[in-house]
Amino acid sequence: MNSELSSQQIQDIGEQGLLERLQRFCPPEIIGDDAAVLVTAPEQSLVVTTDVLVDGVHFSNLTTSPEDAGWRAAAANLSDLAAMGASPLGITVGLGLPGEVRVSWVERLYQGITECLQKYNTSIVGGDVVRSPVTTLAITAFGQVSPHRIIRRSAAVVGHAIVITGVHGASRAGLELLLHPELGQDLKDVEKTDLIRAHQRPQPRLDVLPILQKILNSQSKIVRLSEAKVQNLKSKIPVAGMDSSDGLADAIIQICRASNVGAVLQRRQISLPAAFDHWLTQEQALEYALYGGEDFELVLCLPQESASALVQHLGQGAAIVGKITSGSTVLLHDEEKKFPNQVLSLSQGFQHFSQ
Amino acid sequence: MNSELSSQQIQDIGEQGLLERLQRFCPPEIIGDDAAVLVTAPEQSLVVTTDVLVDGVHFSNLTTSPEDAGWRAAAANLSDLAAMGASPLGITVGLGLPGEVRVSWVERLYQGITECLQKYNTSIVGGDVVRSPVTTLAITAFGQVSPHRIIRRSAAVVGHAIVITGVHGASRAGLELLLHPELGQDLKDVEKTDLIRAHQRPQPRLDVLPILQKILNSQSKIVRLSEAKVQNLKSKIPVAGMDSSDGLADAIIQICRASNVGAVLQRRQISLPAAFDHWLTQEQALEYALYGGEDFELVLCLPQESASALVQHLGQGAAIVGKITSGSTVLLHDEEKKFPNQVLSLSQGFQHFSQ
């Protein structure tokens, strides 16, 4: 270890710099998706994902009840499983707690976690509780998936459609309303409640997986191949994707980077909460949708025909928002030519270690 | 939630009290062993275990290098898998770090983790790194096992022998030498080094599993049953057990409680590090062996014949230390009658939340 390195602090290199250094301790084939995939049997893969949440950094009693903090933590991990095409098997919960935390706070946290898990027919299967100067929540979720149904970021194909499974921007709008209640003057009460709920109780899109598989299977059959060839074809229909937890723009850019492709998005196709129409400017609404994050929808790239069928089945804000192109740029295009074309780039993002 | 409950703090009810309250959020069938078991396929079970370690509570730069902290954290989780009879598939590492932690510290921690994992042919398969006011390490390990080979605490049978897979007390002795270097005057340098190494680099006993299975399979064949019956019998040979991470006394008492049985232990059969002979009184040596903890050996209950074969194969401190009895007491017996019989009980243990 050279001396330059040994004198550096985490805050000098930031989260991304640290992750790059730590990745050399992991097998390269498991890096780069929402979760790791381990083959446990010929037709079964184990999918594993983990998150650490720290009081004051990732949640706070000021904006989040313990029930909501629990729900959100569970939902984020289940969303990572959904993003890989995997059905949940369970989660473990590691908890670090100061001695003065109220027992009822911890029980309410667990209540929120289990409410979310129950909705998706899964449960807490293990855990650890230790003393810590700061409340810390470490969740590991695991799921299973047939190897040919794994959804990877790196599988996007030029010409395929880009599908979003629901509206974007609602979670960010809900957070703004929680932080600045005075902002919602132009909103009806039910609109406010819905936006805040989108932030407090995000819904991981595990419900999309069986619909997606049904469509892919039926699309395979349409081409009338022998059964053996259908099997072969099924395993060859590549679905690329990830969740939009870090924002819609981030998801599309990550998929394009991992797949060495570009994309063109149609500005008007990006579905927004109806309340945005009479509340936000078009620029503000798009900003929330592209960069707001935590909508926990899926962003999927698949053949046009399958994409149309999927959007029709899902309804409720699901849309084809663009298509995969050759090249490497992600272009935002306005059909109405009201706004100039725009190349999307990753915002610098939240550098967890910067002071 | 009643008002009495909501005013209580974690430090009022302690770790055990908190765990009891949180267990109602988990499926009852997965509680009570070193790790949770999930069935993923007819002949395959997934075993999951998790630990949270906090700087200043579970490790400290004063007594532990980052490499050793990493090794010990990985070893403790692999030991939980071994205690269930499971082979490791991988671990996830969740890391909370203050910005001023040195990059080299984190790399050395990961170096220690991966050195341990490599020895047991497994690896880090996922993780998360976040900002936190206190360095926190959350490890989740998963492994797999055939359902009929799962080792459970609750499977002990009256008359079966109790096997320990190696010496006990070395880790605690090593810790004492680290904390009080002046204590080791009567020890040779190599003895000191070995005891300290037992504390810094504990060895999870995954190596025991294939030997155990080979012995159980060959014992089944000796009774010359038809192949179908052998299969049936194999699934019926109950091996109870856990690891001795919280001390040998704790392990035997936990097994007895979970199995509704008692045990009698032969004081002279408990194997100790050779250095104890000319360093510690018999009382002190036994105290370290029974209550010291962190030896990470396995404590297994199995038929006498299999137990003898296992001890012979393992060597190096492996021993039959007693047998399972009816009743509920765990009795420590001195064959030489130099010490009176003694009923073992769980020491109050380390109450993580007491101030």
CA dist B229 and B247 (Å) reads 38
Residues A194 and A336 grouped into a single domain: yes
| Residue among B35, B44, B127 whose CB faces A40 most closely | B44
pLDDT at residue B222, rounded to an integer = 52
Residue B350 sits at the chain A interface (C-beta within 8 Å): no
CA dist B337 and B333 (Å) reads 8
Measured between alpha carbons, how far apart are the two ends of chain A, in Å? Answer: 26
Contacts of A101 in chain B (CB under 8 A): 9-10
Does the pLDDT at position A233 exceed 50? no
CA dist A220 and A209 (Å) reads 17
Within a domain: A116:
yes
Within a domain: A85:
yes
| Residue among B11, B46, B132 whose CB faces A99 most closely | B11
Q: Which of B147, B170, B189 is the last residue of a domain?
A: B147
Q: Is A102 helix (H, G, I), strand (E, B) or coil?
A: strand
Taking CB atoms and an 8 Å limit, are B41 and A36 in contact across chains? no
Q: Is A104 helix (H, G, I), strand (E, B) or coil?
A: helix
User: What CATH number should be reported for the domain holding residue B93?
Assistant: 3.30.1330.10
Alpha helices in B8-147 (DSSP H): 10-22, 66-83, 103-119
Residue of B nearest to A30 (CA): B125
Q: Which of B101, B117, B147 is the last residue of a domain?
A: B147
**Which range has the worst mean pLDDT, A2-6, A294-298, A301-305?**
A2-6
Within a domain: A38:
yes
Domain that holds residue A102: 8-148
pLDDT at residue B138, rounded to an integer = 96
For residues A301 and A237, the answer to whether their CB atoms sit within 8 Å is: no
To the nearest whole Å, the CA of A115 is away from the closest chain B CA by 10
Unique residue bearing structure tokens 């509780």: A129
Number of CB pairs, chain A paired with chain B, less than 8 A apart: 279
Residues B203 and B260 grouped into a single domain: yes
User: CB within 8 A of B347, min separation 6: which ones?
Assistant: B247, B249, B250, B291
**pTM of structure:** 0.86
Helix (H) or strand (E) holding A72: helix A66-83
Q: Are strands A124-131 and A87-97 parallel, antiparallel or unpaired?
A: parallel
Residues A194 and A252 grouped into a single domain: yes
Residues A259 and A334 grouped into a single domain: yes
User: Which tokens go with B248?
Assistant: 């040998």
Residues B75 and B199 grouped into a single domain: no
Residue A277 sits at the chain B interface (C-beta within 8 Å): no
pLDDT tens per residue across span A37-96 = 666 777 788 899 999 999 988 888 777 899 999 999 999 999 999 999 999 999 999 999
Within a domain: A348:
no
pLDDT at residue A351, rounded to an integer = 37
Taking CB atoms and an 8 Å limit, are B100 and A58 in contact across chains? no
Residues B105 and B170 grouped into a single domain: no
Residues B143 and B182 grouped into a single domain: no
Residue of B nearest to A34 (CA): B126
Within a domain: A352:
no
Residue of A nearest to B56 (CA): A132
Residues A78 and A221 grouped into a single domain: no
For residues B81 and B243, the answer to whether their CB atoms sit within 8 Å is: no
Q: Using 50, 70 and 90 to split pLDDT, how confident is the model at A298? A: very high
Residue A240 sits at the chain B interface (C-beta within 8 Å): no
Within a domain: A40:
yes
User: Which tokens go with B339?
Assistant: 């010490």
pLDDT tens per residue across span A331-343 = 999 888 888 888 8
Number of domain units in chain A: 2
Residues A130 and A178 grouped into a single domain: no
User: What CATH number should be reported for the domain holding residue A310?
Assistant: 3.90.650.10
Residues B94 and B174 grouped into a single domain: no
CA dist B272 and B289 (Å) reads 7
Q: Are strands A330-333 and B44-54 parallel, antiparallel or unpaired?
A: unpaired
Within a domain: A204:
yes
Interface subset of A 77-96, CB within 8 angstroms of B: 89-90, 92-96
pLDDT at residue B58, rounded to an integer = 87
Which residues in chain A belong to E strands, given as ranges?
36-41, 44-54, 87-97, 124-131, 136-145, 161-164, 240-243, 262-266, 298-302, 319-325, 330-333, 342-343
Residue by residue, pLDDT tens for chain B (355 residues) are 444 445 777 677 766 676 677 676 666 665 666 666 666 777 788 899 999 999 988 888 777 899 999 999 999 999 999 999 999 999 999 999 998 888 888 889 999 999 999 999 998 888 888 889 999 999 999 999 988 888 999 999 999 999 999 999 999 999 999 999 888 888 999 999 999 999 999 999 999 999 999 998 887 655 544 554 544 444 466 799 999 999 999 999 999 999 999 999 999 999 999 999 999 999 899 999 999 999 999 999 999 999 999 999 999 999 999 999 999 999 999 888 888 888 888 753 333 343 3
Residue A76 sits at the chain B interface (C-beta within 8 Å): no
CA dist B328 and B331 (Å) reads 10
Residue B2 sits at the chain A interface (C-beta within 8 Å): no
Residues B240 and B220 grouped into a single domain: yes
Contacts of B132 in chain A (CB under 8 A): 52, 54, 57, 134, 136
Q: Using 50, 70 and 90 to split pLDDT, how confident is the model at A210? A: very high
User: Which tokens go with A209?
Assistant: 């997986």
| Residue among B54, B110, B142 whose CB faces A142 most closely | B142
Q: Which of A85, A117, A148 is the last residue of a domain?
A: A148
Residues B199 and B60 grouped into a single domain: no
